[in-house]
Amino acid sequence: MNEEMTQLSPPIYTYFNALKHTIGNDPELNVFDMVNTEDGNYLIQVDVAGIRGHEKAQALATIVDSDKTVMGDTKVFVEFLHRGQVIQPFENVINYLTLFNTAFKTNRLYVKIESTLSLGKHILYPIFEKEVIQFFNDDLSDFHQNFNGVAASVFRDVLKEFVFNVQVLTTTEDKQ
């Protein structure tokens, strides 16, 4: 008997596509194809161009979850490059609003960053366009087998939850 087998996209590809369609929605970025590393993990490299490419790469390296566990103990690592060199994250931050504005200045989905103080703690709110991010993902719950997510929620999956102990909560712009 010759039955057709259903194969589903592994979570590593969901993370890759989420990163490509959020962080990569920027004319100054080029998200390279994900590669399998010798230790069974995966690597995504993102090239950052532009006049302030080094600072932007450093800002992105600081706020993006670049060490993501996606299946059991399988990890996806993200590296930001500028002129062929891997750029390290900032070691500390003086102004969080500038950090996010530097990282997302030319991102087509980014609106702005806001900060609040709640119960004595600062919270950062990167605000994104009211957009749906969609890509093919073998999603059996969708008629077309697509992944469908609101931009702010998909950004939440690729950004760090905390940047230097300051919580990051993504949200959608408020449109009437």
pLDDT in tens, 45-75: 999 998 899 999 999 999 999 998 887 888 9
Cα torsion angle, 95, 165, 119, 172, sign: positive
How far is it, in rounded angstroms, from Cα 169 to Cα 162?
Answer: 9
Amino acid identity of 137?
A: N
For the question of whether the overall pTM of this predicted structure is more than 0.85, the answer is yes
Per-residue pLDDT tens over the stretch 81-106: 999 999 999 999 889 999 999 999 99
What is the rounded average pLDDT of the residues 102-119?
95
Q: Name the nearest CA neighbour of 153 among 14, 9, 10, 8.
A: 14
